[in-house]
Amino acid sequence: MASVFGQIFRISTFGESHGPALGVVVDGCPPRLPVTAADIQVELDRRRPGQSRITTQRREADEVEILSGVLDGLTLGTPIAMLIRNADQRSSDYEEMRTKYRPSHADFTYQAKYGIRAWQGGGRASARETVGRVAAGAIARKLLQLAAGVEIVAYVRRVATLEASVDPARVTRDDVEANIVRCPDTAAADKMIALIDEARKDGDSLGGVVEAVARGVPAGLGEPVFDKLEADLAKALLSLPACKGFESGSGFDGTRLRGSQHNDAFYKGKDRIRTRTNWSGGIQGGISNGEDIVVRAAFKPTATILREQETVDMDGNDTTLKPRGRHDPCVLPRAVPIVEAMMALVLADHYLRQRGQCG
């Protein structure tokens, strides 16, 4: 199973949704970077389940244990191993799924690939797997902040058909954390919360879009031809559970414009060459140009819903399934810190690659 991500700043995650623990090993982190468990816990607390009525009610403290690679609050340059223990599994809720496939979930495809699957909680296909990514992303974020002054902010842009009005250049984390849906447009946020509540009470689910911006990224990050910056960002975000689409900059909307409208004109700024517009989303030719990097990730409605659905069992017999358990009626609020983490991992890796190549 491919559970390794990155080239220089490289992570390997492990663990299943209902196993004893999950975790991550971070390799390639430079030495003498100030890192504490508190730095990592802040991000894990934003991702953890049970934080509001519109998220899964599974209760996990998600307390990080740093097992290696850090001494007296400084990284050693050696592998950093982190562990997060599971404490609130209810595997009995999944007993029916031992032999039945959930529609649009990974149950069938994991069985087809491996001939075996962790049916309790979905195993590695569960969003629980992302806890290791967020822990590693917290270290990547710290590296980017201290080395280059990079700031990353993600937020819920759309839930179903409800779209927020947000300026990526101005949004702050405080704006995002002001409500439980993590949408900085307060008027839209209230409507989103009500819509998710309605879906939750109906035993149904909703999808939407998370938008993210990285500010202060230096020009020159990205490796043509196959490791273009947006290509690696796309891989990072599309590797997330329930993510079905990726855009950078103007994305698909840019196809509606002419080149004369879409081109970002250059000018000489105070301290560097700038562009007057940012349709490119901070990336041109697969390389960062110094402007804000703006990306969007589309997440489908949660596959596991508390409604009876038609399906088949492992022998191909027609049957029905009404899942039990605790599930997010909408993954978006908890996806926000996960999107930030994956963006940080890609940017940290390319920052170190650029530094190694060009000094």
- The residue with tokens 């300026």 is 167
Determine the 3-state secondary structure of 199 from DSSP.
Answer: helix
Structure tokens, 133: 């990514």
DSSP state of 162: E
Cis link prior to 25 (omega < 30° from 0)? no
Structure tokens, 86: 């599971």
Determine the 3-state secondary structure of 137 from DSSP.
Answer: helix
In the chain, the number of structural domains is 1
DSSP state of 117: -
Q: Which residues contact 258 (CB under 8 A, 6 or more apart)?
A: none
Q: What is the span of the domain harbouring residue 113?
A: 4-358
- The residue with tokens 């060459």 is 273
* 8 A C-beta contact, residue 328 and residue 256: no
Query: What is the spatial distance between Cα 309 and Cα 320, in angstroms, rounded to a whole number?
Result: 6
- The residue with tokens 């043509």 is 224
Angle between helices 332-358 and 130-148 in degrees, nearest 10: 50
Q: What is the CATH number of the domain that holds 206?
A: 3.60.150.10
The values of phi and psi at residue 316, to 5°, are 85, 10
pTM of the full predicted structure? 0.94
Angle between helices 332-358 and 37-47 in degrees, nearest 10: 140
Q: State how beta strands 293-299 and 208-215 pair.
A: antiparallel
Q: State how beta strands 208-215 and 151-159 pair.
A: antiparallel
* Residue pLDDT tens, the chain, 359 long: 579 999 999 999 999 888 889 999 999 999 999 999 999 999 999 998 766 777 766 666 889 999 999 999 999 999 999 999 988 666 667 778 888 898 998 999 999 999 998 887 777 888 889 999 999 999 999 999 999 999 999 999 999 999 999 999 999 999 999 999 999 999 999 999 999 999 999 999 999 999 999 999 999 999 999 999 999 999 999 999 999 999 999 999 999 999 999 999 999 999 999 999 999 999 999 999 999 999 999 999 988 888 889 999 999 999 998 876 667 889 999 999 999 999 999 999 999 999 988 86
